[in-house]
Structure 1
Amino acid sequence: MTHPLSIGPHTVTPPVVLAPMAGITNAPFRTLCREFSGGKGLYVSEMITTRALVERNEKTMQLIRFDASETPRSIQLYGVDPATVGKAVRMIAEEGLADHIDLNFGCPVPKVTRKGGGSALPYKRNLLRAILREAVSGAGDLPVTMKMRKGIDDDHITYLDAGRIAVEEGVTAIALHGRTAAQHYGGTADWSAIARLKEHVPEIPVLGNGDIWSAQDALRMVRETGCDGVVVGRGCLGRPWLFADLVAAFEGRSDFHRPALREVADVMVRHARLLGEWLGDESKGVIDFRKHVAWYLKGFAVGSEMRKRLAITSSLAELRAGLDELDLSQPWPTGADGPRGRTSGNNRVVLPDGWLKDPYDCAGVTEDAELDTSGG
């Protein structure tokens, strides 16, 4: 139904990519998604800030650790200073830290946009070009891709200009989230923008992102937009088996995964265990897992008190014991395939002073604007 997706020398079949999500798409979660997919697809790390990488920040060096079975290894970088981005990319290439680099121009959160980063940055066309040029030149043989949004808001749309700049600077592929920064995660993703970008940059693959809650949504996006692949974010929260469904759908099968609560509980415990092993501390792993509890249990009859109890567990035994008190024979709930994760929108975008005055003026963006921490 679709052609294989080429990201430089890497062929991604089916053309399905796990979106980088801060605090979520660490090695344990990527492992679960990849196992359900049978090793098919592409799984990108959570956001790594270029300054923290260059400074070899301890947390950041932990975040870029890949499981031995991960191939290709994909790192997403965030940065606003071309020189720092260039140093980070060269470091990855020279030290063999990854096989693919993705650049973040889509994050809408205030701590990122107030520095002129993420979804705010493509408005500054020359700055975007300078960052892409440094990244592509520093990457050597590694493919460089980028993920972006439509623009800052409906009055400041940037994705078509950004797409042309990306092509001119040698970017390998572009992923577009069909929302503006102002929308955050509210409303409905504009898939027509994905189709328009595909027409605008026929030279390179375009991937679509936004409102893929099921495998059928992914097929519909490809059909309606002509995009070369899909990037899945919030749809897989508490549902790593969505990647099994995506593989099945793209391969023309309909044997979708509908786990009963017993299997979901087993995956939850495994996820928490993997986090503990990754962090080197069982309790830290279970505490980090707490944010996932509501997503995994969406739609099941659990009860508010038990949900609260499971969300404050701090050991695997406590988590397992709580889950075993539930009716584990419950089938997959009707409607659990719908939206999950953040759905807020229509927020004002926090920007540096005077950011919108001139889209070609890069004054005011300095190395100091780099964030010094990675992930969530």
Structure 2
Amino acid sequence: MSAVASSFRIGPYVVSPAVVLAPMAGITNVAFRQLCREFGSPTSVYVCEMVTARAIVERDSKTIEMMTFGADEHPRSLQLYSVDPKNVTDAVTIIAGEGLADHLDMNFGCPVPKVTRKGGGAALPYKRRLFAEIVRAAVRAAGDIPVTVKFRVGIDDEHLTYLDAGRIAEAEGAVAVALHARTAAQRYSGEADWSRIARLKEAVTGVPVLGNGDIFSADDALRMMRETGCDGVVVGRGCLGRPWLFRELHAALTGQPVPVGPTLGEVAAILHRHGVLLADHIGEEKGLRDLRKHMAWYLRGFPIGADLRRAFAMVSGLAELEDLLGKLDHDAPYPAEAEGPRGRQGSPGRVVLPEGWLDDPEDAAVPEGAELMHSGG
């Protein structure tokens, strides 16, 4: 594989190789981010789980815990969700004033109904003035902290928003934009339309444009960058149960040979490391319970009996995990079945929106009751 342009800037930070770990609810906590960084480059970007502006203003304890960063994690990247410019101003003022993050990424891509029905996530860029006001509020309150913006192609095929969103974000001071090349109606189904990334790159010329969607291998990343001209890639579901994908991306984007996938013994060591990091972060019982959701992803395609798989899915402590890992065939090679799409896919569906949401794209009114105290999604 030949190398492609392998770095870009987020404000003062050189992102090299040009790889960003996407924020994923319930996944990209400090333990998982550290694991990905250990395989990848410390100068790539690994984004914390999404948190809400309102929750920061309210000093919600769960949200503050989600904003934990490692001692050597730099830049500390935080993704923020809001539909209200005032809450954005207040939350970012707290973040900047208390030094809680080094980089802010604004979420306008979430497709889940609990978010879009309030006008948030992927629904919001349709309201161009409100979208501009939110980005402007974040940039002004952030001061020297760089702000990036992530969004989708649109609400559905009839309501595309990404080109306007990219232009507006750039005009309001965002230092980079990222496009998940699906509509909200697609959710995570079907295929990402990378041609939209290429069109956004043509429309947004002053700041880096990053591509997101269907990067499940190092070759996918190289192909996206070649086909679209994007400045970097954002990786989400492709690294679920596969944090070593960042090692492969690092090799590919720096022109080195891509290493072969790990043996089952190597996966066992990585799984154990993940369990230890989670236990250090949130305690052994809670941490190992959290690890359960990763088991099927880590063990996908390997020759493991049904009983052992069930036992992994119910693991409750490090000693038990170590015992189960000892029962695996550590010499089993990495299976071809482990490649390809992983994580949630689901099916497309109608996007739930506030009543009358599509009537006037210039309406800058904040949807009533929109600022939920939820985080993630």
Q: TM-score, structure 2 length as denominator? A: 0.97
What amino acid is aligned across from residue 223 of structure 1 in structure 2? R
- Displacement after TM superposition at 1:343 (Å): 1.3
| Secondary structure of 1:369 counterpart | coil
Q: Counterparts in 2 of 1:133-212, with a 5 A limit? A: 133-212=136-215
In the alignment, the residues of structure 1 paired with residue 258 and residue 20 of structure 2 have an alpha-carbon distance, to the nearest angstrom, of: 20
What amino acid is aligned across from residue 352 of structure 2 in structure 1? V
- Displacement after TM superposition at 1:38 (Å): 4.0
In the alignment, the residues of structure 2 paired with residue 38 and residue 193 of structure 1 have an alpha-carbon distance, to the nearest angstrom, of: 28
Which residue is equivalent to 1:22?
A: 25
What amino acid is aligned across from residue 285 of structure 1 in structure 2? G
Aligned-residue CA RMSD (Å): 1.2
In the alignment, the residues of structure 2 paired with residue 40 and residue 247 of structure 1 have an alpha-carbon distance, to the nearest angstrom, of: 11
In the alignment, the residues of structure 2 paired with residue 375 and residue 180 of structure 1 have an alpha-carbon distance, to the nearest angstrom, of: 19
What amino acid is aligned across from residue 309 of structure 1 in structure 2? A
- Displacement after TM superposition at 1:3 (Å): 5.0
Which residue is equivalent to 2:64?
A: 61
Q: 2:269 aligns with which of 256, 266, 276?
A: 266
Which residue is equivalent to 1:353?
A: 355
Which residue is equivalent to 1:31?
A: 34
- Displacement after TM superposition at 1:258 (Å): 1.3
- Displacement after TM superposition at 1:337 (Å): 2.1
| Secondary structure of 1:102 counterpart | strand
1:333-367 Cα shifts (integer Å, max 9, x gaps): 1131211001113111111111112212234614x
Aligned residue pairs: how many?
Answer: 374
In the alignment, the residues of structure 2 paired with residue 3 and residue 333 of structure 1 have an alpha-carbon distance, to the nearest angstrom, of: 29
1:71-130 Cα shifts (integer Å, max 9, x gaps): 111000011111001111111111111110000000111111111111111011111011
Contact conserved, 2:6 with 2:253, CA < 8 A, in 1? no
Contact conserved, 1:40 with 1:247, CA < 8 A, in 2? no
Which residue is equivalent to 1:253?
A: 256
Which residue is equivalent to 1:320?
A: 322
What residue ranges of structure 1 are gaps of 5+ in the alignment? Answer: none
| Secondary structure of 1:187 counterpart | coil
Contact conserved, 1:176 with 1:194, CA < 8 A, in 2? yes
In the alignment, the residues of structure 1 paired with residue 334 and residue 199 of structure 2 have an alpha-carbon distance, to the nearest angstrom, of: 37
Contact conserved, 2:85 with 2:137, CA < 8 A, in 1? yes
Q: 1:289 aligns with which of 291, 314, 317?
A: 291
Which residue is equivalent to 2:8?
A: 5
1:17-54 Cα shifts (integer Å, max 9, x gaps): 00010110010000000011142311000101111111
- Displacement after TM superposition at 1:257 (Å): 4.3
What amino acid is aligned across from residue 105 of structure 1 in structure 2? F
1:262-317 Cα shifts (integer Å, max 9, x gaps): 111111121112111111x2011000111000000111111222212211111111
What amino acid is aligned across from residue 30 of structure 2 in structure 1? A
What amino acid is aligned across from residue 252 of structure 1 in structure 2? G
Q: TM-score, structure 1 length as denominator? A: 0.97
In the alignment, the residues of structure 1 paired with residue 181 and residue 203 of structure 2 have an alpha-carbon distance, to the nearest angstrom, of: 15
What amino acid is aligned across from residue 362 of structure 1 in structure 2? A
What residue ranges of structure 2 are gaps of 5+ in the alignment? Answer: none
Which residue is equivalent to 2:121?
A: 118
| Secondary structure of 2:174 counterpart | coil
Contact conserved, 1:242 with 1:257, CA < 8 A, in 2? no
What amino acid is aligned across from residue 81 of structure 1 in structure 2? D
- Displacement after TM superposition at 1:4 (Å): 2.2
Tell me whether 1:52 sits opposite 2:50 in the alignment.
Answer: no
What amino acid is aligned across from residue 127 of structure 2 in structure 1? K
Determine what percentage of the aligned residue pairs are the same residue. Answer: 61
